[in-house]
Amino acid sequence: MSGGLRFQDLSRLTPARVRLDASASPTPMGDLLRFQEDHAGARDAIFSAANWEAIATDLAPLTSLRVASRATDRAEYLRRPDLGRRLAEGADLPRLDCPLVVIVGDGLSAQAVDRHAAPLIHALRARLPELSTVPVVLAQGARVALGDEIGAALGASMVLMLIGERPGLTVADSLGAYLTLSPRVGLRDSARNCVSNIHDHGGLSYDQAADRLLWLIETAQKIGVTGVGLKDESTQTPRLG
């Protein structure tokens, strides 16, 4: 079996880019163009702005609140990750004292939140009807930890941050979901659980992601911890009664 054929076989097992056949010369034009297209897609995902108005519309009948981080523009957001972890000065959020709030942050892929945030929230709301009474927070210039300050301000017992993941050359619109109990400024990332690779290019479907998040939410509420103390056994363990 030739090396080229082995690589072709490997490529059938994964949507990831598999090494090109080194014996092929020159580089096949199709492969070169696909690489350039994927690279441009990744750059677009990072530098584009989320369409917050469209997301708010897609979330209906859920209501939403808009906030921003201390990063004043996209360039500063990329240079200063610390600014994306704190709310802008003067941010005014209502005290809700709710068990769970969902936050949508643009993160490193606006395309991910544009395409996947609202459908995932609706899938989760079908499993947790109580989410219908709590507004979704839309956070511009957000890093994952921004959810801690937002959750603390709202008086939420738990926050679920849906955020655009760093784009790659295979998938530029992957969404991640981070669950944190008792959110407050200064928490370490080890206090969170993450469900990643939510997209429609071979990743988790909305129903699969919502089922996994539901298991994590219910288990966290039962045992009182998220992060390293909560091992994700959602695919092995039936729902808690």
Provide the Cα torsion 73, 77, 78, 80; round to 10°. 130
DSSP letter assigned to residue 153: H
Dihedral of alpha carbons 85, 222, 215, 191, sign:
positive
Spell out the SS3 assignment of 183-237. CCCCCCHHHEEEEEEECCCCCECHHHHHHHHHHHHHHHHHHCCCHHHCCCCCCCC
Query: Is 194 a known ligand-binding residue?
Result: yes
Helix axes 52-59, 118-127, angle to 10 degrees: 30
- Alpha-carbon distance of 232 to 241, in angstroms, equals 17
Note the helical H segments in 12-145. Answer: 29-47, 52-59, 74-79, 110-112, 118-127
Query: Is 144 a known ligand-binding residue?
Result: yes
CB 218 within 8 A of CB 124: no
The helix or strand, by DSSP H or E, that contains position 132, with its residue range, turns out to be none
Q: Which residues are annotated as a binding site?
A: 144, 165, 194
Annotated binding site for adenosylcob(III)alamin: 144, 165, 194
